[in-house]
Structure 1
């Protein structure tokens, strides 16, 4: 490995950068709003000009790893939830990098999971993880990320997945009604449409409509604030519904991949829910699978609390690719 090296985690809202100066040692962590920069290169130049990055040795960076909230196939990357579009080879040439690794952000996040300790995660519900077993990953933020981690003889293989765009599956009449409302706005209602930041707003509009109540023009953070403060019954129901939907999504992932190593929940939303999530029906819905309830009771579920887990994963991928 060549140090220092640049690590980046690019989402639909924020671009997070860090300089890894030695194995596992991160310096100059800076978060830049994507909307303030026309291109990825503009954001990278702003970061390299940051005094903390300069002090960490940004001028000596020769290789970089970027985790991005998007499929990565070929040289050109066009973000799904943001307007940035770039050529990997062109960015590598522009910044004179000997190597630039660009991967899906949840592939990077999945690679971080074996390295997380008990201070970087907490368990929700029962179940015991098996060592060297398949691990599942979900994360709700700007979008809904999905991945899995497969053990091999000498390490792990992280799956490139766009599972957040699978079709939403309701499990009761209320969720069928929510789906019917969503279908008036979208021809295809994916899981991401309801289990994401924008999904909180769609759930709020849907539940307001179903309860014949005028919906306020509020954004997801305000929905979360009102719900957690118990200032708005519908906002609180939005959060409860979100947790239940995520439980079903997590159980689908668990039985699809056979995640005896557990299912991890990342992204920006769930950690902010705190104790509300732990007390919600998430785990009840996770185990609600009829004949497979007993199977799912044995699989643990964890919430990731480490603020920058993708940095850990992209570093591991860089090391693995070396």
Structure 2
């Protein structure tokens, strides 16, 4: 079982890792004053296990031996064997302690780490969507379309930030406009339903594009999300252009829903690889229009700022901030920390 001790401090040096469905990123924090030492990005498909990736990419190359690890993983944390939602890796903290030499392993949700990052994200690492203004010191939301769709809240109370991990990317989405009703019958579903992740992710881009093509009676010309977004941004394919427009609309709707749930007066932050790549589309009218279209609270929604996170390693930055000063964040380690 995971250690339920209330002591927050992990022993330095600390390996910090951001484990997504497609890529994994690692760095080592020598002490509370040091900047993290980064290591090359890892494609999860290139290694059979996370332990193998850590050993070959980090431990075999590092000049210092990390005593502990904080890992942010894309999936719910339950028990001693933790499955990733969109990756074949399984995180086994007990085995890491036994085989990789760690004394202490803490596992958190990947968007909990993103939430930690936006607690104090400098202006230079955010791109404003819609009305400009400094965000309030108040609750926030992070959404990240990438391999999947990550969602987390960040509640501010008693001068402390409390990350709230969840699986909000799997909420239902439905059609609203006349065009939606033409497109939605062609969307791929999971057990009969369209979840947010099935339209707001890499595969979601393809899902929308293929549905638009089906509604228009044309054959899809592209099957890679990067090709679709590129053609949508440069305007050379009409179905790809509409795909980005609809993606922005659907993202705005879901982001607005999450803002209402958390009363996120401190802002909504779009993280994940896709958001950074499609900033021009998100700066169009669709995203904010859908975000604010929440009658009877449209006026309230107009006051909530929205941003794209442009920090290249936001999750690692958030984990490093927690590792340095864990007492500044309201993170419970119960059921998520293992010790030798």
* Alignment TM-score > 0.5, same fold: yes
CA RMSD of aligned residues (A): 1.9
1:252 to 254, 257, 268: 257
Number of aligned residue pairs = 317
**Helix, strand or coil for the counterpart of 1:238?**
helix
Post-superposition shift, 1:171? 2.1
Contact residue 78 and residue 84 of structure 1 kept, 8 A? yes
1:33 to 13, 36, 43: 43
Q: Distance between the aligned counterparts of 1:110 and 1:65, measured in 2?
A: 15
1:177-235: per-residue Cα shift (whole Å, max 9, x none)?
33222256752210000000000000011000000001124211111111112121111
After TM superposition, the structure 1 = structure 2 runs for residues 60-209 of structure 1, keeping only pairs within 5 Å, are 60-126=65-131, 128=133, 131-182=136-187, 186-209=191-214
1:14 to 11, 15, 23: 23
Q: Distance between the aligned counterparts of 1:235 and 1:272, measured in 2?
A: 15
Post-superposition shift, 1:142? 0.3
Contact residue 7 and residue 18 of structure 1 kept, 8 A? yes
Q: TM-score, normalised by structure 1?
A: 0.93
Q: Distance between the aligned counterparts of 1:290 and 1:186, measured in 2?
A: 30
Post-superposition shift, 1:63? 1.0
**Helix, strand or coil for the counterpart of 2:165?**
coil
Q: Distance between the aligned counterparts of 2:264 and 2:238, measured in 1?
A: 35
Q: Which moved more, 1:30-39 or 1:273-282?
A: 273-282
Cα distance change on mapping 1:158 and 1:6 into 2, 3 Å: same
Contact residue 15 and residue 32 of structure 1 kept, 8 A? yes
Q: Distance between the aligned counterparts of 1:243 and 1:24, measured in 2?
A: 39
Q: Distance between the aligned counterparts of 1:279 and 1:270, measured in 2?
A: 13
Q: Which moved more, 1:90-99 or 1:232-241?
A: 90-99
Q: Distance between the aligned counterparts of 1:84 and 1:147, measured in 2?
A: 22
**Helix, strand or coil for the counterpart of 1:115?**
coil
Contact residue 127 and residue 297 of structure 1 kept, 8 A? no
Q: Distance between the aligned counterparts of 1:138 and 1:124, measured in 2?
A: 14
1:122-148: per-residue Cα shift (whole Å, max 9, x none)?
211116455431101111000001110
Post-superposition shift, 1:313? 1.7
Contact residue 68 and residue 105 of structure 2 kept, 8 A? yes
**Helix, strand or coil for the counterpart of 1:16?**
strand
Contact residue 2 and residue 63 of structure 1 kept, 8 A? yes
Q: Which has the higher contact order (CA 8 A, sep 6+)?
A: 2
**Helix, strand or coil for the counterpart of 1:17?**
strand
Cα distance change on mapping 1:4 and 1:183 into 2, 3 Å: closer
Q: Say whether 1:211 aligns with 2:213.
A: no
Any stretches of 5+ residues in structure 1 without a counterpart?
Answer: none
Cα distance change on mapping 1:193 and 1:238 into 2, 3 Å: same
Q: Distance between the aligned counterparts of 1:178 and 1:158, measured in 2?
A: 36
